[in-house]
Amino acid sequence: MKIPPHVSIVGATGAVGKEFLEILEERNFPMRSLRLLSSPRSAGSELLFRGEKHVVEALTETSFQGVDLAFFSAGGAISKQYAPIAADGGTIVVDNSSAFRQTDGIPLIIPEVNPEALDEVRQGKKPGAIIANPNCSTIVLLVAVTPLHREATVTRMVVSTYQAASGAGAKALEELTEQSRQVLAGESPSPVVFNEPCAFNVFSHDSKIGEEGYNIEEMKMVWETRKIWNNPDIGISATCVRVPVKRAHTESVTLELERPLSPERAREILGDAPGVQVIDDPKENRFPTPLAASHGDDVLVGRIRKDLSHKSGLCLLLSGDQLRKGAALNAVQIAELFL
């Protein structure tokens, strides 16, 4: 990849696309030029980046000519159609959808966890490639758990997620806001984006449920963890729910470990781990919250305690901003590995 690169963002007008712009500016990401791409209905609109207005262009098969690095965040169907075209033309694609996460030969990367997975791309004979960004829940989980895994080897995880409405997009966030107004006004909420009312409610994640009774969001955490850790035998059971929170996902995690690990040692390890901030104050009852995690780069970790049901178990509570570290920030960090 040319350094500094010519950069494009696919899905620039969406919630994650706007996070890309904010993060690239905050981190002073080096680039020669920026091309913003979106659907035809958004073409012609303008977005501000580094004090300059950039006109959004309609995405076409020729959009990637001269582009060295492309961030995709426009859904799986768009990625499947256009990412191979971009990669074949010599562009490094960092894709935020689920389209390529389980594809053999395409690395699935969290920079704090498995940066070595990029080696094959760096050493490849072709200039272009596709790199997959994991699911937001998987990223939040593994940023926090991997340092403990390196110390004591995780053999099994049980995870419950409490996922913010904005994880389903800008319209879902608008629905939460409007339904909250309706309920407080004594009106009945009208679900459109979700199957259930999201204001003042908690409900199972609305992705498709498979034959074994797990929904796709839950299975993503299983499949992706096994690929990222290169461990097809790791035991994982997940339950994913939506909660009436605007931003940032929270996860309750129980770990079974090969070797005992004290909460005190776990705090030391996590205190030194990149991308992690420990908030664990039992005396003041102060622990991670989605409000504290919102708009932040770190995964917050607390409620670090022994699992009373297992001699080598540990329990954690995590919160992480799913639009930043769970999406755009992780993708930008992947690109930074090339720099």
Summarised one tens digit per residue, pLDDT across range 11-21 is: 999 989 999 99
pTM of the model: 0.95
Which of 242, 244, 260, 263 lies closest to 317, judged by CA? 263
CA distances, 267 to each of 59, 173, 180, 255, 264 (Å): 46, 34, 38, 15, 5
Q: Which of 205, 240, 249, 315 is catalytic?
A: 249
Residue 339 has what pLDDT?
A: 85
126 pLDDT more than 80: no
206 pLDDT more than 70: yes
CA distances, 74 to each of 37, 64, 109, 158, 172 (Å): 10, 15, 19, 31, 16
CA–CA gap between residue 79 and residue 236 (Å, rounded): 28
Active site residue 205: no
CA–CA gap between residue 329 and residue 299 (Å, rounded): 12
pLDDT tier at 81, thresholds 50, 70, 90: very high
Active site residue 249: yes
Q: Which of 6, 54, 136, 240 is catalytic?
A: 136
Residue 5 has what pLDDT?
A: 96
Strand-pairing partners, residue 34, are 7
Strand-pairing partners, residue 257, are 154
Amino acid residing at 213? G
What fold, for 137-164+202-322?
A: Dihydrodipicolinate Reductase; domain 2 (3.30.360)
Q: What is the mean pLDDT of the chain?
A: 95
Residue 134 has what pLDDT?
A: 98
CA–CA gap between residue 145 and residue 318 (Å, rounded): 10
Indicate if 137-164+202-322 has the same CATH topology as 6-134+327-338. Answer: no
Residue 125 has what pLDDT?
A: 65
Summarised one tens digit per residue, pLDDT across range 161-184 is: 999 999 998 899 999 999 999 999
4 pLDDT more than 70: yes
CA–CA gap between residue 175 and residue 163 (Å, rounded): 15
The residues spanned by each domain of the chain are 6-134+327-338, 137-164+202-322, 169-197
- The burial of 316, by beta-carbon neighbours within 10 Å (0-12 exposed, 13-18 middle, 19 or more buried), is given as buried
Summarised one tens digit per residue, pLDDT across range 246-290 is: 999 999 999 999 999 999 999 999 999 999 999 999 999 999 999
Question: Sheet containing 249-257: which strands, arranged edge to edge?
Answer: 203-204, 235-242, 154-163, 249-257, 313-320, 299-306, 276-278
Amino acid residing at 120? E
Helices (H), the chain: 15-26, 76-88, 119-122, 136-152, 170-184, 216-228, 263-271, 290-293, 329-338
Summarised one tens digit per residue, pLDDT across range 305-327 is: 999 999 999 999 999 999 999 99
Share of residues in the chain with pLDDT > 90 (%): 91
Amino acid residing at 57? E
Q: Which tokens in the block code for residue 204? A: 């199972």
338 pLDDT more than 90: no
Region 6-134+327-338: CATH code = 3.40.50.720
35 pLDDT more than 70: yes
